[in-house]
Structure 1
């Protein structure tokens, strides 16, 4: 998020501030100096840049399909662009382009509209930011206005706040020292603070459709000169019902020479229709298996019973210990209440876990996500708010605790690992509620050249039979779910491998950190699920950002 600092922090003397290297620094009567806060953030990102690089050896056989012939770049230096941008690419560790970048960048530099579909983790963000900033530096800023300063030249629309925040971080890196100002606008934070920042000037606006409409409707934001429009995760925005908001934003944008890019990991019929409606003479670029995932992600399928999911979760975590402090796990669940429940459960086991979902306040979501990225906790429990676009280096294991109701969300969830050519593992829990997408999962496994379990490929098999049993020892007769037995092996193996504190678990004995045992926590639980292990709720509110204001 673009950080709001006090006025005293803004009173930085000119002798220690740095001049912008392009004319964008003086647009709309700005003082010609770099924004001190974006400058400090870029320098922080430079110091903290990830050690996990791109595994280019995995990219040699990726299929690429393009509807028109265009030149292909093999290096970022193949294009005649501003040397400041090239220097920023090197400074922040971007050495060689990924397949989507090799094809998408020339198409965009030729100023053609683009519909880009690619696997998750393929580098779509740089594929549109690089040519966007290159064209802005080449064209220079528009004529300054004496009245308005909140007049962006480019808008990037995204479905979630977390993705907006992540894209702004990349924009801050690539615009370092140029004087171009990017700004992030989304719901969940006070509008007054965002208006105050907009009044200081904005060139690239990144945000969710609802908040941008509200700002434009109340005349806090002028969209008449927007030339570049980018729709990232377009399929997700349609799923969330944002099409009316997208149409309204297009009505605000008056410029006829608008250049538009749509990015999506899937290519359903709805995306084709919206591309035909909003893009002009566009090029279709498809990289990898559209709507699929990569062979770099090993998908481990577990047939489990709903009541045993928590025990399987502990075992999978113990079987895949963190190798370094920069390795992380993401656990996906369907509902907000389940995210809180599993987070509490893991923390009670001595495993440091955080959660993000739609009921969290924005500062809580950002704090928890940053703690996860910075290694202060290694387990993130999330709803689908974290399944789209988020790029967290070092995620080696994704656990699908609750199966989503469609294959597109499944692809996006497991796509949080195995990014930019690196290896990853997805542990998938399948129970009797998973039948609607089992056939599609089988197809996905075959596409990725992975073994399909016999019980999964046989549609007539009864998923209620022959479940994988969790490890149990010394289970008492009065403890049918095995919650009060001695489970030292999986828990202690996980703690030993990950540096967590040892915890004593024995039959009938409470841990000191518990105020009451699981067997006593029966309030608000359905009678047929006294332990709350299934976390299924047909009426639970899904994690959507339909009320951004």
Structure 2
């Protein structure tokens, strides 16, 4: 493991720089490579009129009332290779049994210890084997039986804990068991209120709402895996992409819809989506959706349209934090729900080694190069900055220094963002410079190092950022550059490090003490430590 970082007095890494001297051309410099045969489009990009399909593209025409949805369809070797080639490797579950889990609520179902402990059907169990999941994570142990027992759920769990599979597995299992029901008849009728908007209206059986395009795509990709060899067709809709293309993809059939709230409202108002038969509602990263101002759209979708009311539909909310706003939403949307807390809500994982180093602004770039060389040439490294301008500037600097890198922020087009993530995931650009747009929800396998080039202004953002490494039991490293500008999170950062049993620099303890002392002094009529 790396040594203690303490650069306050000008020290730092004693390493030899080993930039990517063999790197000739920056893969994402010429964006045209994304659109021609010179580059491989990332999975999840539109192909042949839709998002790569799930093997069930003609479900509307082929579905019959007498079909048994619980039986697997014919295997597709090409699709199977596409969906499951990545798999799960190197997962470390040793520390999972020590993570505290608390489930509260009336008649809470007993947790499971293996996927075989609950009946999820042939299709799900086969796909679990293909994903090479060996045992459930803590949130999966508790959430799967709760959802299978048709209970509403409010789950707070550390980022990277396996939440996506925790709701997809039981929801899809129930859909396979129950079949399409009335939604199939409505689909065949074409939706009588479609009017001038033309082709068939879709009636998904399950809806997953997510705050960002990237997270929506990620959930969709997981849904494709667990819908393999089934009659369920997942779809995804989100802003920033061609709505006409998304409509055409929807018209090929949609049973499970993953959506960002704004684009879903648009689709509903165009008469393309009806929620009349949506029996399963999932809000993922619910706290983030409220932070981003999505509450009016969420309430419009859930309360002001044709979605079955709570108590009829089954609702699941997942969140890393549980502030008052989330509690209100839970009360309004959930019926006699079970509250599940995995680990301390809002805490970090002990699988992540956290280092905090004092680095003045003028020394950050030099210190970053030392870190990148020490981490290793092929290690995936995520570097967080505060501003879009800062992301572009740092990417250009690293590129000039010979590093294979790319960036992601809110001003980049959706296609550029998807391509940047693909370049990073594939390892062709093992360094990704990102703003907060990449901080939450993204599940990128094997991120070895998260570097906070600029620390965020609040501790929750810090928790989410470093949660991009050390995911699902893997070990990770997070390094944060700290200086006088970050004084506002000193105490919270210290608390996080202590709680996660991390090494605390002596200067950080002194600063936290000084900060608290001067705050107490200001409350007694003095000035605060910023001199105000």
Q: 1:218 to 1:9 in 2, by over 3 A?
A: closer
2:97 aligned residue = 60
User: How far apart are the structure 2 equivalents of 1:19 and 1:386?
Assistant: 31
With normalisation by structure 2, the TM-score equals 0.80
> What is the SS of the residue equivalent to 1:84?
helix
Residue number among 70, 76, 83 corresponding to 2:115 in the alignment:
76
Residue number among 246, 257, 263 corresponding to 2:298 in the alignment:
246
Do residues 306 (structure 1) and 358 (structure 2) align?
no
Q: CA offset at residue 155 of structure 1?
A: 0.7
User: How far apart are the structure 1 equivalents of 2:483 and 2:76?
Assistant: 47
1:288 aligned residue = 343
Residue number among 340, 352, 357 corresponding to 2:409 in the alignment:
357
2:13 aligned residue = none
> What is the SS of the residue equivalent to 2:257?
strand
Report matched runs for 1:223-372 at 5 Å. 223-250=275-302, 251-256=304-309, 257-322=312-377, 325=378, 327-372=379-424
Unaligned runs of 5+ in 1: 464-549
User: How far apart are the structure 2 equivalents of 1:19 and 1:364?
Assistant: 28
User: How far apart are the structure 1 equivalents of 2:60 and 2:138?
Assistant: 33
Report matched runs for 1:432-451 at 5 Å. 432-451=484-503
User: How far apart are the structure 1 equivalents of 2:102 and 2:128?
Assistant: 26
Do residues 46 (structure 1) and 69 (structure 2) align?
no
User: How far apart are the structure 2 equivalents of 1:364 and 1:41?
Assistant: 25
Q: Conserved in 1, the CA contact under 8 Å of 2:147 and 2:170? A: yes
With normalisation by structure 1, the TM-score equals 0.77
Residue number among 4, 26, 32 corresponding to 2:63 in the alignment:
26
User: How far apart are the structure 1 equivalents of 2:295 and 2:66?
Assistant: 36
Unaligned runs of 5+ in 2: 1-42, 191-199, 516-532
RMSD: 2.9
Q: 1:19 to 1:334 in 2, by over 3 A?
A: closer
User: How far apart are the structure 2 equivalents of 1:28 and 1:364?
Assistant: 42
Q: Cα deviation per residue 1:251-290 (whole Å; 9 max; x = unaligned)?
A: 2243131111110112222211211121111100000121
> What is the SS of the residue equivalent to 1:329?
strand
Q: Conserved in 1, the CA contact under 8 Å of 2:55 and 2:79? A: no
User: How far apart are the structure 1 equivalents of 2:265 and 2:122?
Assistant: 35
Q: Conserved in 1, the CA contact under 8 Å of 2:73 and 2:230? A: no
User: How far apart are the structure 1 equivalents of 2:339 and 2:475?
Assistant: 28
Q: CA offset at residue 18 of structure 1?
A: 7.7
1:400 aligned residue = 452
Q: 1:236 to 1:42 in 2, by over 3 A?
A: farther
> What is the SS of the residue equivalent to 2:95?
helix
Q: Cα deviation per residue 1:346-383 (whole Å; 9 max; x = unaligned)?
A: 01100100111111111111111011111111100111
Q: Conserved in 1, the CA contact under 8 Å of 2:491 and 2:512? A: no
Q: Conserved in 2, the CA contact under 8 Å of 1:333 and 1:401? A: yes
Residue number among 71, 84, 108 corresponding to 2:147 in the alignment:
108
Q: 1:8 to 1:188 in 2, by over 3 A?
A: closer
Do residues 409 (structure 1) and 461 (structure 2) align?
yes
Q: CA offset at residue 81 of structure 1?
A: 2.1
Q: Conserved in 2, the CA contact under 8 Å of 1:445 and 1:451? A: yes
Q: CA offset at residue 25 of structure 1?
A: 6.1
User: How far apart are the structure 2 equivalents of 1:42 and 1:152?
Assistant: 24
User: How far apart are the structure 1 equivalents of 2:203 and 2:78?
Assistant: 24
Q: CA offset at residue 459 of structure 1?
A: 3.3
Q: CA offset at residue 53 of structure 1?
A: 3.5
1:142 aligned residue = 181
Q: Conserved in 2, the CA contact under 8 Å of 1:152 and 1:223? A: yes
Q: Conserved in 2, the CA contact under 8 Å of 1:149 and 1:201? A: no
User: How far apart are the structure 1 equivalents of 2:234 and 2:51?
Assistant: 19
2:156 aligned residue = 117
Q: CA offset at residue 2 of structure 1?
A: 4.6
